[in-house]
Amino acid sequence: MNGSAVGAAFTLDRFRLDDRIAIVTGAGSGLGRVFARALATAGATVLCADIVASEAEKIAAQIVEQGGAARARHVDVTDPESVDALMAVTARDYERLDILVNNAGIASVARRLHELSISDWDRVQAVNTRGVFLCTRAALPLMLDRRTGSIINLASIAGLGGISLKLSAVAANYSASKGAVIALSRQVAVEYAGDGIRCNVIAPGWHLGTQLGREALPPSEEALGRILANLQSSTPMGRTGDPEELAGLLVYLASDASSFMTGQVIAHDGGWTAW
């Protein structure tokens, strides 16, 4: 993430995150837990931020028990004061921020656009789009001070193209929010590249076992079975992903191993977008 990496011979040390300070939003569940553990395993001190403080405390405690460095932080990514407070505490305690993972996200029950409620539209946009904007906006001054940083935003393959409701529980509000995250990330990448700050996007395909997945998928076993069968048959690899499979990609984007990469959207989808 800094100029010293330029011209250096390749070494696995470039994947290390020792002495880096990282914030992961939505760290209390699903992909957030995977990301927090992965960054800590690579050597970072991880601030596990979540709207549910008790869940943030659980993952931070797990990381510490396993020999890593982590602290729990409460944050509501839709609230500017809450986000600013998170960054203020980070500045006070560490005087820096090297990695920001904007992972917090929600979905709603899937309905076609003409049946979608305004409240469901606004709720999803508030977390998925406004939350990324607020956290990035508040984090950038901490990165600008040192002219280095990696911002990793979580979008979705739903932000890359339309998806039939017959295949999943993704609705227009979710797809629109993730498309906005992609556009915002590219703009951030261009605006701050000259300041040594990189911004990239992970666009996951179907990784089940997350809080988001439980919220969006139907409750009945029969309906869930139909959707899973559709997802598997529509994915070239013939299966859905495991959240843990995203850990390596995240560490790569956070580390000096990706020092010349910015403004990129990487679909992690078992070949879904390759059809």
pLDDT score of 7 more than 80:
no
In tens, the pLDDT along 75-116 reads 999 999 999 999 999 999 999 999 999 999 999 988 999 999
Would you state the structure tokens that stand for residue 230, as one six-digit string?
């559709």
What is the fold, at CATH topology level, of the domain defined by 15-267? Rossmann fold (3.40.50)
pLDDT score of 220 more than 90:
no
Of the listed ranges 8-22, 48-62, 130-144, 218-232, the one predicted with least confidence? 218-232
Residue 63 and residue 35 in contact, taking contact as beta carbons nearer than 8 Å: no
Neighbours of 218 (CB within 10 A): 14
pTM exceeds 0.75, yes or no:
yes
Would you state the structure tokens that stand for residue 50, as one six-digit string?
């979540």
More confident residue, 164 or 270: 270
Place of tokens 């299966």: 239
CA distance 131 to 25: 9
pLDDT score of 65 more than 70:
yes
Q: What is the mean pLDDT of residues 242-270?
A: 97
In tens, the pLDDT along 148-201 reads 999 999 999 999 999 887 666 689 999 999 999 999 999 999 999 999 999 999
* Catalytic machinery residues: 174
Neighbours of 97 (CB within 10 A): 25
More confident residue, 151 or 6: 151
More confident residue, 257 or 228: 257
Place of tokens 């305690």: 93
Percent of the chain surpassing pLDDT 90: 80
Domain ranges of the chain: 15-267
Of the listed ranges 130-134, 216-220, 255-259, 261-265, the one predicted with least confidence? 216-220
CA distance 137 to 191: 12
